[in-house]
Structure 1
Amino acid sequence: MNIYISFDMEGIGGIDRFSDEYKAASAYSRAIHAHLQAVIDGIQRSPKNDEIETITVADSHGDGKNLDYLALSEMDERIELISGYPRGEYMMSGLDRHDVIFFLGYHASSGQHRANMDHSYSTSFHRVSINGIKCSEAMINQIYAKEKHIPVGLIIGDSGLYNQLILEGYMPYVEYVVTKDSLAHSAVVHRNFQKVRAEIMEKVALVLDKDFSALPLGDLTTPYNVTIETNTTLHADMAEMLPGTTRLDGYRIGMSFDSGKDLINGLMSLEVLCRK
């Protein structure tokens, strides 16, 4: 059995704004590694631990340089780290040969009410919709996972994403651990980490005991008709020059994809452009 962990930071407890990454770097690092350690502890204490061969961790926030390689190596000798940016299928790089996926530190899509640091792939995107549905990174990444026939078994993130995926019914079948209760874009109630850690370990063991072949893979189907509403007309001007894009109005770009791989890489291409 091989486990894939896609890491993002905005859904991690102890963090409530983007500037924590550099203004509170030490606390930031402790928080992200403590949450990952809880996942690894849950794996190691699971009855299925001996069946696991590889634990792949994809550092998928920002430039993909958040996680300490040596610290991860010490957590478990089966861990391999994917880092760096840009790279193909960014948040899901190297997904082949895995059996189940965990999303760690995930957050709600842009525009979700009471969601900490809400956005979808880029803070330059006001909204990303697929087939008319406002989508979070979790929903988009699941599309690519579905293509590989690999289920998302566990999501660890803020209450904003929980409300969107579980309460609003987009991924109600996924096990979920709430790390913090989001009050607003930059305000949260941080749950005590001892409780969060215990829940993470419990849910990891619960997921690993499931029949992965029976887990749902998601409902969105091809073609994936994407509308990206940018924050500025300048970003839309740059995006319009990409082959396959349609300018819908001053802020909106339309794109269509027949595969999850092309969908992720198309969105990431726009993300790279909008960083300029």
Structure 2
Amino acid sequence: MKILVSVDIEGVAGVTHVEQCRTGNPEYERARAWMTAEANAAVLGAFDGGADEVIVNDSHGGFRNLLPDGMDPRARMVTGKPRYLGMMSGVEGCDAVFLVGYHAGAGRPGVLAHTISSFAFHRVSVNGQELNEAGLYGALAAEHGVPVALMCGDDAFIADTRSRFPGALTVETKQSQGRATCVTLTPAQSVQAIRSAAAQAMAGVASLRSVPLPGSRYRCELVAQDPGLADLFCQWPALERIDGTTVAFEAPSMESLIRMLNCLSAMSFMLH
């Protein structure tokens, strides 16, 4: 059985401030070690539960955060960017996906909540459904027939996402009390809980089914953080301007849609 572990940082236990998520800060070096430990806990749990192969996708920022020497030597890692499948790179041929260190979506309550770009995007909706990163990338995994089996992050993330993946187990690493405030497990407690849940999730993988978004074509409505960003995004001829901050585009697949969102996120650095 083959498992993909997709790992972000904002949902990791102990992480509560943006400085912990950005390179160049002493606090980031501690946070990336906690991120690595939670990723490795999911790996160990997957192997405990009978996995034959585990791939770990570094899914935060520049995708170069995890410390390879902190990972179980049986795992393989996907690191660096750009990548067509982004946070789901490595999903092809997998039996399930584990989401570790994930967070709530843009415009929602939750620790460091955002969707793809905290600078550029205020809200992302697909075919009328507001989606966070887990919703977007879980739908991409579903295009490959791969279900989400485990979700780890803060309580706001779990509350926002549970209905999208009803068969997935959850680990609450912290309780949000604001964007930069939380009551958190210690890293050791979180690691123990994730390893146990990952092993337990393996037992249910065979009965899970992937949950694609309905429809054969997808319309994305993207609310930018300000009109200047919407001006920039509409330099791309495929985009339609809806109002001062809202743009829209259509895509034939979730892969195409997410690739467009990642391109727009990269464009936004012109105004950062």
TM-score greater than 0.5 by the shorter chain: yes
Structure 2: gaps spanning 5 or more residues? none
Aligned pairs for 1:197-212 within 5 A: 197-212=191-206
> Percent identity, aligned pairs only?
27
Contact kept, 8 Å, 2:5 with 2:42, in 1: the verdict is no
1:235-275 Cα shifts (integer Å, max 9, x gaps): 11121122321011111110112211101101111111112
Instruction: State the distance in 1 between where 2:174 and 2:40 align.
Output: 18
Structure-2 residue corresponding to 1:120: 115
Residues 37, 116 of structure 1: alpha-carbon distance in 2 compared, 3 angstrom cutoff:
same
Structure 1: gaps spanning 5 or more residues? none
Q: CA RMSD in A?
A: 1.6
Instruction: State the distance in 1 between where 2:175 and 2:153 align.
Output: 10
Structure-2 residue corresponding to 1:275: 269
Task: Kindly tell me the number of residue pairs found equivalent between the two proteins.
Answer: 265
Contact kept, 8 Å, 1:40 with 1:76, in 2: the verdict is no
Query: Are residue 35 (structure 1) and residue 38 (structure 2) matched?
Result: yes
Contact kept, 8 Å, 1:120 with 1:137, in 2: the verdict is yes
Query: Are residue 135 (structure 1) and residue 131 (structure 2) matched?
Result: yes
Instruction: State the distance in 2 between where 1:4 and 1:44 align.
Output: 12
Structure-1 residue corresponding to 2:3: 3
Report the AA paired with residue 201 of structure 1.
R
Aligned pairs for 1:76-91 within 5 A: 76-77=73-74, 79-91=75-87
- Structure 1 stretch 28-37 or stretch 98-107: which is displaced more? 28-37
- Structure 1 stretch 241-250 or stretch 37-46: which is displaced more? 37-46
Could you list the runs of 4 or more consecutive aligned residues of structure 1 that deviate by over 2 angstroms after TM superposition? 43-46, 69-72, 169-173, 192-199
Deviation for aligned residue 1:192: 3.2
- Structure 1 stretch 59-68 or stretch 214-223: which is displaced more? 214-223
Structure-1 residue corresponding to 2:63: 64
Instruction: State the distance in 2 between where 1:43 and 1:148 align.
Output: 20
Deviation for aligned residue 1:219: 5.1
* TM-score with structure 1 setting the length: 0.91
Deviation for aligned residue 1:211: 4.3
Structure-2 residue corresponding to 1:220: 213
